[in-house]
Structure formats: structure tokens, C-alpha cells
Amino acid sequence: MTEFLPQPQPQPEAEQSLRFVQDSFIDASVTGTLFIVATPIGNLNDISTRAIETLQKVHWIAAEDTRHSKSLLNALGVSTPMLSLHDHNEQFRAEQLLTRLLAGENGALISDAGTPLINDPGFHLVKLLRQQKIKVVPIPGASAVITALCAAGLPTNRFSYEGFLPAKSAKRLDVLSALQNDTRTLVFYESPHRVLDSLAAMREAFGAARQMVSAREMTKQFEQFVSGTVDEVLNYYNEHPDKVRGEFVLMVMGAVAQDAPEVTEQDGLINLMLQQALPVKQITDIVSQYSGLKKKAVYNRVLQLKELI
Ligand code: SAM
């Protein structure tokens, strides 16, 4: 008599990994790949050899502004055909590029400068391709946010990239006010036309004493980092209008964590001395000696309370 044993049922996890293998197989053998290629943010030598090779080998390059990118590609010896992909045609262009990738072509996406999708077009395209299981490969390189952070001397263990602030002053202040207690380093992109307004709004939202760094024209001839309090950086640019040009990244130190109850217990004493107009350093010395608390924590709290007066 034949014994019918129950057949092993496929496990959900096994099914999933099988599907993954099939997808990878389809990606590799039939459809093309889109490479997201970072280009320099100023200094042409910052392009990687892998980026150049990729740009030479693909069937086409989708560029934010084909005229702008033509000079870069000429300088790199890349003659691959280009097509435009910008904010106004991305939806329509993404469908076209999907068709070409499905047909087996390989393509690259570049933007005017730095890493595509970082305040540049490409999100809609990459999302569509991922949904359609088309392979998307990053070719990393320069991006202003990371370039600025690595040389600023502000904490980089946790940071928040905020892109451009709104152009309208009320909205700009709303955005900044919502960030005033954020303890992460805050990173903003800014244009020379708005940098003074943004710094003034930062002083209003974060207080004059918050530490910050402005990184201007990075990797270019007139690269400049200016660091100090928000007040000092704003004053610097007010006094040097010739430096209010080029491209800016503004980085602001995060708020001091509000979890310092030992210091807040000293608020009454600190306020008393602030009202008597004692210098911040002297108040810090007295309170830290009196309480045994670390000077840095006391100093930050004195600055916070001074702002409230
Ligand atoms: N995709 C780019 C990236 O990866 O950084 C950003 C493009 S966004 C449209 C342009 C902004 O980036 C500029 O307005 C400026 O805030 C910042 N930026 C780009 N290059 C810069 C540079 N060399 N120095 C300082 N800021 C720069």
C-alpha cells in the first residue's frame, strides 16, 4: 500500500528569497541598469575613475541640464548621448527611461553638481525603477552636505540635512523654530541671495550664541569656512559683502540636550546673577564652583537663560 506523506509546504521566507533570486536574475540578464553617478561640486578632479568609466560605457546619460553637463563630459572625454531629466519632465521621462532599461539599455543619471537626488531631480525615477525591479547602482562621489560636515568641526555623529529653507520669511522662521530644540547638527543649503536673511532668521530661532559654521565655495578657488556664533557669522557677512557670493552650506550646532536637571536646579541662582548683568563666564565659574557641575553644562544653561531674559 502506498503511503501518502504530506508534502513539505514552502515557507514564506523561502518563497521570498526565491523571488529575490529570480528578480536579480531578471535584472542581470535581460534588463539594463541605471547608475546614479555623482559629479564634482566644483573641482573637476573630484570625479572618480569609476564614474568616468560608467559614463563612457552606458548607452545614455540623463542630465538635469544637458548644456551645463556637456562641458563636464567634454572635459572627461565622454561622448555618450545625453537626454534631459529635470523637475518639469521627470514623470514623463521616467516612463521613457523605464522602457529603455526594460529593453536592456544601461543608463546613468547625473545632476548639475554633486550627488543626484540630494536636492536634485531623480527621486521619481529611482522610486519607479525600484518598484519595477530594475537595478539601480550608486556611483558615489561629492555631495556638499558631507563635504561641509567633514571639515566644519561640528558634531557629526548625528545630523539632520534640511535642504533649502523656504523663501518666504514667515515660513522660514516656522521651519527654524520647529528645529530649535533639535539636538542634532542641522545642515542647510543656501543661495547667496538669501544667506543674510537666513542667518538673521537663525539668530531669531536659535539665539545669537548658538555655534555654527558656514562653508562657501567648497573645493573651488575661493573656498571659505567661517565659524563662530550665529551672531558672529552674521556680522562677518554683513561686514564683508564681497564674501556674500557663491554657494553656501550653513551648519548649526544642535541644541543642548534638555536632560540636565542638575543644571536647571541652579536656574534661580543663574537668573539672579543674569539680572545683575554679571558676565556669562563669571556666572559659569561661580555656579560650577558652588554646585560642582561641569563648566560646559553650566555655560550652556547660562546662555539658554540669557536668551530668555
Ligand atoms: N546635489 C548637490 C549635492 O550633492 O550637494 C546639491 C545640489 S543643490 C541644487 C545646490 C546647493 O548645494 C547650492 O545652492 C549650495 O547650497 C550647495 N552646494 C553645492 N556645491 C557647493 C559648493 N561647492 N560649496 C558650497 N555649497 C555648495
- Are the beta carbons of 105 and 35 closer than 8 angstroms? no
Nearest Cα residue to 10 out of 21, 2, 18 = 18
How many angstroms separate the alpha carbon of residue 246 from the centre of ligand 1?
10
In this structure, which amino acid lies at residue 79?
Answer: S
Determine if ligand 1 sits within 6 Å of the CB of residue 115: yes
pLDDT of residue 260: 58
The answer to pTM > 0.85 is no
Determine if ligand 1 sits within 6 Å of the CB of residue 217: yes
Cα end-to-end distance, the chain, whole Å: 94
| Position 25 confidence tier, pLDDT thresholds 50, 70, 90 | very low
Determine if ligand 1 sits within 6 Å of the CB of residue 189: yes
Q: Whose CA is nearest to atom 11 of ligand 1?
A: 189
Q: Which atom of ligand 1 is nearest to the CA of 217?
A: 24
pLDDT of residue 258: 64
Total number of residues shown for the chain: 309
How many angstroms separate the alpha carbon of residue 247 from the centre of ligand 1?
6
Render pLDDT for 56-87 as a digit per residue (tens, 0 to 9): 999 999 999 999 999 999 999 999 999 999 99
How many angstroms separate the alpha carbon of residue 135 from the centre of ligand 1?
27
pLDDT of residue 256: 86
Q: Which atom of ligand 1 is nearest to the CA of 148?
A: 25
How many angstroms separate the alpha carbon of residue 283 from the centre of ligand 1?
41
Determine if ligand 1 sits within 6 Å of the CB of residue 219: yes
Q: Across residues 173-189, what is the average pLDDT?
A: 97
CA 48 distance to own-chain centroid: 20
Q: Whose CA is nearest to atom 13 of ligand 1?
A: 247
Q: Across residues 206-225, what is the average pLDDT?
A: 97
Q: Across residues 3-23, what is the average pLDDT?
A: 38
How many angstroms separate the alpha carbon of residue 144 from the centre of ligand 1?
5
Render pLDDT for 90-114 as a digit per residue (tens, 0 to 9): 999 999 999 999 999 999 999 999 9
